[in-house]
Amino acid sequence: MSNNTIPVGSLVPLSGPSAIDGGEFRKGLLLAVEEINERGGILGRRVVPVFADTGRQSADEVVAAAARLIKENRVHAIINGYNIGPQNSEYETVADAGIIYINHNTLLQHHDTVQSNPSRYFGCFMANPAEYWYGQGLIKFLSWLRDTGQWQPSSNRIAIVSGSKPYSIVIANAIANAAGKYGWSIGYGPRVVSTPRSEWHDIIKELKACEPAVIANTHFYAGDLAAFQRQFFEAPCNALVYLQYGAMHQAFADLAGQSARGVIVSAVTGLLRDQVGEEFGRRYLERFGADSTPQIGCQCYNAMHHFAIAASVAGGTGGPGDLEQNRKVAKALIDIPYRGVAGTIKYHPSWQAAVPFPDHVHDPSLGMPHLFYQVHNATGRLALIAPAPYNVEKFFLPDWYR
């Protein structure tokens, strides 16, 4: 690698079950790097992206890929989407090298790891809010629908089903913890069921017994969620259905079909439907084709641009071992908020994670929006219904609601 270039690594699942998302993470980073280089790079040095496949995203695979990027490619930073499974094991490799690592793991665990030794993990950043905020945000969203009269819940009860992965359990617990403060009660659960799972009839029967006003399933596999929704739709009740992340994927819409119309989903990082977001979407599709997904690629795209600005302000990047320079970059990342195509990345000074709006901060210019969508039709089009000022469409009562 030439001295006049800056190698930036990326830990992406290019094979395995998350390869579709991995491909988009790669495209997002590529587009950002192309734009940065077109403008002259970082202080005149071209950025060279290096991708390492994390396969099934196990701890061993992710840690080995991180080590490879650092030892063989001497990367100055690693910027990527999420890697489920390693439980932040890769942080150790990154911390040993003293480089910048920006991920979208969406894990509350990040807060604790960073805060357990801020000096060691100075370079570790999570560019989206932790999964914990899904729970807090959902309760506020439901209360907003109720308090503004858009929806009159049949009761104050919420039924919560969780998949068996930590991500799902944390979200389910967070929903349960926040509910009481807003006048909701937990009628069922949080029930942790072993996943993957395609058979939900028994669970649906059990949870319907409490006559819930809301049913929340925090498992996140698109296919399993589609099965859940189809089975609920066979004999529905007057409840809103909230499904976690996987329900945003086209695969969910394809499998759930008509039964999905009215389902609520949300994302703590998503592409905005304003001018900034739409222009990015257009560039992304032009560059990578109509079958690509800017909604996922936007994450790495945002984070890469933010890194480039911070590194430029800090006077350049630093390779493995150059802790002095990398600390300057880390400081600039915290000091300078970045309003990108998915809202604002404003790193919390202690968590080193993006702060969510409106779940934690009330100023949209200082937080990454937690976006709420409703499946609008059988093709899976998602209507962005909250929060203001980002919402562009209105909530409607689902078809199964009587």
Partner 1 sequence: MSQHAIADTPDIADIAGGLDAMEDGIGIFEADRVLLHANRSFLTAFECLSSLGRQFTYGDFVAHLARSGEIVLPLSAEHWITLELSQYGTRRKSEYLLADGRTLEFGHHAAVSGGLTVVLRDVTAAKSLEAMLRRTKAEAETSNETKSRFLRAANHDLRQPLSTLKILIFSCMQEQEEEHRRDLLHAMDISVSIMEDLLGALLQIGQLDAGQIVPRVSTFQLSQIFERIGLQFSHQARERGLKLRFVQTRATVVSDKALLERILTNLVANAIRYTDVGGVVVGCRRSGSGIRVEVWDSGKGIAEQHKSRIFDEFYQINHDRHSRKKGLGLGLNIVQRLAGLLGHRVGVRSVEGSGSVFSIEMPIGDVWQSDTVASEVSEMVGGEFAGTPVLVIEDDAVLQDAMRELLERWGFRVTAVQTEEDALEVIANAGERPALIIADYSLRGQFGTDVLQKIMAAAGGHIPALIVTADVEPRIISEIQAAGLPVLIKPISPPRLRVMMHNLLFEPGSVTAGRPE
Q: How many residues bind partner 1 (CB under 8 A)?
A: 44
- Phi, psi (5° rounding) for residue 164? -95, 5
End-to-end CA distance of the chain: 64
x/- map, 125-144, partner 1, by CB under 8 A: -----x-x--xx---x--xx
Return the number of the residue (42 or 353) whose C-beta is nearest partner 1. Answer: 353
User: Under the phi-then-psi rule, with left for phi > 0, alpha for psi from -120 to 50, and beta for the rest, what region is 126?
Assistant: beta
x/- map, 320-359, partner 1, by CB under 8 A: ------------------------------xx------xx
Asked if 6 and 41 count as a contact pair (C-beta separation under 8 A), the reply is yes
**Count of Cβ atoms closer than 10 Å to residue 231 Cβ:** 18
What is the identity of the amino acid at 104?
A: H
Query: 168-184 b/e with 16+ CB inside 10 Å = b?
Result: bbbbbbbbbebbeeeeb
199 in contact with partner 1 (CB under 8 A): no
Instruction: Output the smallest distance, CB 387 to partner 1, in A.
Output: 6
CA angle 19, 191, 89 (to 5 degrees): 40
Return the number of the residue (108 or 203) whose C-beta is nearest partner 1. Answer: 108
87 in contact with partner 1 (CB under 8 A): yes
Q: According to CB under 8 A, which one of 10, 18, 57, 173 is a site residue for partner 1?
A: 173
Return the number of the residue (73 or 87) whose C-beta is nearest partner 1. Answer: 87
**Count of Cβ atoms closer than 10 Å to residue 193 Cβ:** 16
Sheet holding 5-12, edge to edge: 46-53, 5-12, 77-79, 100-103, 124-126
Return the number of the residue (358 or 380) whose C-beta is nearest partner 1. Answer: 358
Piece in contact with partner 1 (CB under 8 A), picked from 31-39, 47-55, 173-181, 282-290: 173-181
Q: How far apart are CA 311 and CA 43, in angstroms?
A: 9
- 21-60 positions binding partner 1, by CB under 8 A: 59
x/- map, 278-317, partner 1, by CB under 8 A: ----------------------------------------
Provide the binding-site residues for partner 1, judged by CB under 8 A.
59, 86-89, 108-109, 111-112, 115-116, 130, 132, 135-136, 140, 143-144, 146-147, 156, 164, 166, 169-170, 173-174, 177-178, 180-184, 192, 194, 350-351, 358-360, 362, 387-388
